[in-house]
Amino acid sequence: MSASRHQVRFPGESASYRAARDKLLDAEVEMRRAVESVAAQRRALPLGGEIPEDYDFDEIVGVNGEDEVRTVRLSELFTKRMDTLIIYSFMYGPEMARPCPLCTSIIDALDGEAPHVVQRVNLAVVAKSPIKRIREFAAERGWRNLRLLSSEGTTYNHDYQGENAAGDQMPALNVFVRRGDKIYHTYSTELLFAKSKPGQDGRHVDSIWPLWNLFDFTPEGRGEKWIPKLSY
């Protein structure tokens, strides 16, 4: 009997169900080991490159009861007590009529988690549209907790794979760390650039996207054609 097996049973289950479920449980235990192993390798990465410049982003802050656009540098996204910064690149360029619905689905969930996340690391979402346009969409979605920034006029998107050579916006999650008075890149979701089998999604940001993980628990799975929309 596998060490992962247990005596818990559910109403009406058959012996064939239990045998198949126990086999799946073994696979789930192995998957957990793999996830933990990959996370350990990720944590053990040496420092990446020092940022080429202290990027200037636009953000909107409330001043005397009114909204005001201000410039904030990447270095200023670090609080005094936390030396790690996660930035998600949101596909919403100035030439896009509407934002990417898949990114929107991710950020819908991320906005709810943000108050928890910022207890341990700094977090921001960056898009290339003008900041007022980003904030208008945020109000439409009901986002309240995220630090939203515009990379308009900077090379940040290009430098950190939030934009391809043709200028098309790309989804990316990047992690930066502060060491003394310098800032280094330490991780990016590069799985998107790795070869995959035909029909297999890149799944590079699945770890922060609860939608697909929830569907993975169901008999229907993710499906082959359905994708999130901005409205239903």
Q: How many domains does the chain have?
A: 1
> What pLDDT does 85 receive?
98
In a domain, 14, yes or no: no
In a domain, 108, yes or no: yes
For 138, counting Cβ atoms within 10 Å of its Cβ (0-12 exposed, 13-18 middle, 19+ buried), the class is: buried
In a domain, 120, yes or no: yes
What confidence tens digit (pLDDT) does each residue in 193-202 have? 888 777 677 7
Which pair of structure tokens corresponds to residue 168?
A: 């098309």
In a domain, 111, yes or no: yes
Which domain range does residue 81 map to? Answer: 56-189
Q: Which of 63, 138, 129 is nearest to 97 (CA)?
A: 129
3-state secondary structure 50-63: ECCCCCEEEEEEEE
In a domain, 33, yes or no: no
The 8 Å CB, 24+ separation contacts for 132-139 are 132/60, 132/69, 133/92, 133/94, 134/90, 134/92, 135/60, 135/67, 137/92, 137/99
Please, what is the average pLDDT of the chain?
94
In a domain, 124, yes or no: yes
What confidence tens digit (pLDDT) does each residue in 9-35 have? 999 999 999 999 999 999 999 999 999
What confidence tens digit (pLDDT) does each residue in 88-137 have? 999 999 999 999 999 999 999 999 999 999 999 999 999 999 999 999 99
In a domain, 35, yes or no: no
The 8 Å CB, 24+ separation contacts for 59-68 are 59/131, 59/147, 59/148, 59/149, 59/150, 60/131, 60/132, 60/135, 60/148, 67/135
State the CATH number of the domain containing residue 135: 3.40.30.10
Strands 84-89 and 182-188: unpaired
Q: Give yes or no for residue 1 having a pLDDT over 70.
A: no
What confidence tens digit (pLDDT) does each residue in 31-48 have? 999 999 999 999 999 999
3-state secondary structure 190-211: HHHHCCCCCCCCCCCCHHHCHH
In a domain, 19, yes or no: no
Percent of the chain as helix, strand, coil, to the nearest 5:
35, 20, 45
